[in-house]
Amino acid sequence: MMNQFKQILVHARIALLAAGVLMSYAVKGQTVICVAPEGSDAAGGSAQHPVATLEAAIRVLEKHPVADSATLQLAGGTYRLTAPIMLDGTSPIAKWKHVALKAAYGQQVIISGNRLMEGKWQAAGDNLWKCAVEGVFNQLFVNGKRATRSRYPNAGEWLEPDSINFGKHELYFQGKLPAAFEKIKGAELHATGMWHWNRQYIERFDGKKQRVVTVTYPGTEASYTKIGKRDRVHFENAMAFLDTEGEWYLDRERRLLYYFSKEKPDDQVFEYPALTQLFRLSGSANQRISDFSIDGITFEGTEWDMTAVERKGLQAGFWGTGRTDSVYAPPAALSLAWVANSRITDCTFRNLGEGAISLGDGCAFNAIEDNRFEDVGSNVIQIGYRRAYLGKGHPLHLDFEDAALVSHHNLIRNNVLDNFGTTDRGAVGIWIGYAHNNRIDHNRITNFPYAGINVGWYWGTDTTLVATHCHHNTIAWNDISKGMRYLSDGAGIYLVGNQPGTVIHDNFVHQIGGGFTITSGIYVDEGGANMTVTGNYFDALDNPNEAHAIKLHKNAIPTMTIYNNGGEYRVQPIHTNPAYKYGKYAEVRLVRPPFPRLYGVQKK
């Protein structure tokens, strides 16, 4: 009788496998849901019968009895999302002790917010081609590389305004604006404002008076630093600017894409982003998501948005308008809130219009390790993230009243950040706001237009030491190079405010400069106090106006500990800029470290 019962069970299991309804399989006590592009969402997620989408895999796991460990295993291929993946504390998945989202061993897995263009190209003029598209977008990727949106002047060039009438929204460019521009509609002005990066709409071009009139106030109203005659300006998004190989323009009304190329682009692969976010993991104060790991995944294809208030940069990728209006932070492809003891490892983030990773409310004891970030539009990694808020007394000042909301004890280690700030040139590589006890070490940060690392978010004075939740952060053993390529008044490592216990040690900052003024290796800005800066090396800091290894602006100097930098064994003397009493700098020689390989990413 018992043998007959066993045979019935065996036959039933075979039937379930044949029907593809086996929900999962166990490996060493672990539940595994398999996903493959050639799978079916009607399947059960077994190795033999994988589901086809990540959404289906999550549904399967949510129906599975909660156990210790689960893995969502993705086979090689591209998974194109129609909406962001969102998991919150109400999902049964939050009750598992450990959940992993990972690529199958040795396979390349891409989670993409891009859409493939499938239309036919037609001739539209000399070296000009057009194709009908379904979407509206601000970015285009050709064969996996960012294509240049039509612009004037061309990439690598810029204009400097001769004069600006802020009240009338006018910027004058004598002898620099072709008369044909008067017919342009819908173009954008992109301009620096020393450390600001502004993107806003143009109302009209006036060829006769050689002026550009913007729809709103030129630059950010919230800052006392305005667009000046040394700032860099270019215009984007007009058919008249389309004149260089690989440039493109989208006629939004007719949904026609124009592409400048000597050859018909039939053999090229064109993609455009349709999402601003790819994955959001969000617990709550009562139900944190813990021990969630993401491993070996490539995330690509997010859009940037001009927004209803345009994009008038304030600081480090944040934007706003007036001093009493809300400020906004760039969204991230992968967003976490109320997540603890989790890991993001061996992933690639690329071709993003905004940021890559944000750690928001209540994120603690997480690790971001061994990842690669390339062509990230705005802030790459943000800790202490809030999407929007209204500052108190200063547009950016709003510490957390509830300590439970503060991000802390997170690790950013052994990552490569290469080429970021590609859509927002005021962006930074790693941003820490009101957050504490975080560690940034052994990262390679290179090719960026403004600052590499930004820690602190309260601008005080040399006599006003305000305590915030930003303290006891460590920045160590990073290799930071080829920064400050476009904006001014920044550094490889930028810090601001009173930060007790924060230590910046043993970093190598080099090849920094390119903006028209003020370049630094390490820059401690307004209200800087109670930090230790030691053991750092600097080389090739380039600026015709001002360049210092360690710049100190409105700091509480007696509280700062600065010693043994530049390969010297001494307390560094502090000097004052004779033209500006608040501008000080440490006396540090420029020299490469004896063992450069010790800095940046370390091989395992």
User: What tens digit of pLDDT does each residue of 384-416 get?
Assistant: 999 999 999 999 999 999 999 999 999 999 999
User: Would you say residue 475 has pLDDT above 90?
Assistant: yes
* Cα separation, 225 vs 417, whole angstroms: 29
Question: Is 94 within the bounds of a domain?
Answer: yes
285 shares a domain with 258: no
Residue 177: both structure tokens together: 């604006």
Q: Which of 264, 253, 251 is nearest to 150 (CA)?
A: 251
| pLDDT value at residue 603 | 87
Residue 369 CB neighbours (<10 A): 16
Which among 75, 67, 1, 65 has a CA at the least distance from the CA of 34? 75
Q: Which two tokens stand for residue 498?
A: 């009173």
Which pLDDT score is estimated for 13?
37
pLDDT value at 29 more than 90: no
d(CA 530, CA 558): 9
Q: Is residue 385 part of a domain?
A: yes
How far from the centroid of its chain's Cα atoms is residue 85's Cα? 19
3-class SS of residue 526: strand
Residues 118-145, mean pLDDT to the nearest whole number = 97
User: 358 with 378: CB under 8 angstroms?
Assistant: no
Q: Is the pLDDT assigned to residue 4 strictly greater than 60? A: no
- Pairing between strand 77-80 and 343-345? unpaired
Residues 6+ apart with CB under 8 A from 349: 298, 299, 300, 333, 334, 356, 357, 371, 372, 373, 374, 376, 380
Give dist(CA 200, CA 309) in Å, integer: 9
* SS3 labels along 474-506: EEECCEEEEECCCCCCEEEEEEEEEEEEEEEEC
Q: Which domain does 357 fall in, by range?
A: 276-290+301-401+416-434
**Sign of the dihedral defined by the CA atoms of residues 42, 43, 44, 45, in that order:** negative
pLDDT at 191 over 70: yes
Q: Are residues 442 and 570 in the same domain?
A: yes
Q: What Rg do the C-alpha atoms of the chain give, in angstroms?
A: 26
Exposure of 460 by Cβ count < 10 A (0-12 exposed, 13-18 middle, 19+ buried)? buried
**Alpha-helical runs (H) found in 135-229:** none
239 in helix, strand or coil?
A: helix
Residues with Cβ < 8 Å from 535, sequence gap 6 or more?
505, 506, 564, 565
The Cα diameter of the chain in Å comes to 100
- Nearest-angstrom CA–CA distance, 246 and 513: 28
Question: What's the mean per-residue pLDDT of the chain?
Answer: 95
Question: Could you give the number of structural domains in the chain?
Answer: 4
Catalogue the E-assigned strands of 274-310. 279-282, 289-290, 292-295, 297-302
Query: Which residues contact residue 577 at a Cβ distance below 8 angstroms, ignoring those fewer than 6 apart?
Result: 546, 583, 584, 585
Select from 65, 81, 111 the last residue of a domain: 111
Does residue 502 form part of some domain? yes
- Residue 20 pLDDT: 35
Residue 10 has pLDDT above 70, yes or no: no
Residue 75's Cβ-count burial label (10 Å; 0-12, 13-18, 19+) is middle
Specify if 295 maps to a domain: no
> pLDDT band at residue 30, thresholds of 50, 70 and 90?
confident
Residues 427 and 440 in one domain: no
Positive or negative: CA dihedral 371, 372, 376, 378: positive
pLDDT computed for residue 210 by the predictor: 98
For residue 424, is pLDDT > 60? yes
In a domain, residue 409? The reply is no
Q: How confident is the model at residue 333 (pLDDT cuts 50, 70, 90)?
A: very high
76 and 171 part of one domain: no
Amino acid at 21: V
Judge whether 559 and 509 are in contact, CB under 8 Å: no
Element (H, E) at 427: none
- Residue 460 and residue 426 share a domain: no
Q: Are 458 and 562 found together in one domain?
A: yes
Q: What percent of the chain has pLDDT over 70?
A: 95
Q: Which two tokens mark 118?
A: 């499938």
Model pLDDT, residue 544: 87
- Tell me if 6 is assigned to some domain: yes
User: pTM of the prediction?
Assistant: 0.95
Q: Given pLDDT bands bounded at 50, 70 and 90, which one contains residue 573?
A: very high
pLDDT band with cut points at 50, 70 and 90 for residue 604:
confident
Residue type, 474: T
Contacts of residue 445, defined as CB under 8 A and 6 or more positions apart, other chains included, come to: 417, 429, 430, 452, 453, 478, 479, 480, 481, 483, 492
Residue 579 pLDDT: 85
Q: Work out the average pLDDT over 106-114.
A: 99
Is pLDDT above 90 for 67? no
| Residue 408 covered by a domain | no
The percentage of residues in the chain with a pLDDT greater than 90, rounded to a whole number, is 92
* 460 and 597 together in one domain: yes
Is 576's pLDDT higher than 70?
A: yes
441 with 589, same domain: the answer is yes
Instruction: Measure the N-to-C terminal CA separation of the chain; round to a whole number of Å.
Output: 57
Q: Which two tokens stand for residue 329?
A: 């932070």
Residues 445 and 367 in one domain: no
Query: Comparing C-alpha atoms, which of 513, 501, 561 is closest to residue 538?
Result: 513
User: DSSP for 188-222?
Assistant: EEEEEETTEEEEEEEEEEETTTTEEEESS-SS-TT
Residues 514 and 557 in one domain: yes
Pair (175, 197) in one structural domain: yes
CA-CA distance, 107 to 416, in Å (whole number)? 21
Question: 381 and 479 in one domain?
Answer: no
Which among 114, 116, 120 has a CA at the least distance from the CA of 259? 120
Inside any domain, residue 296: no
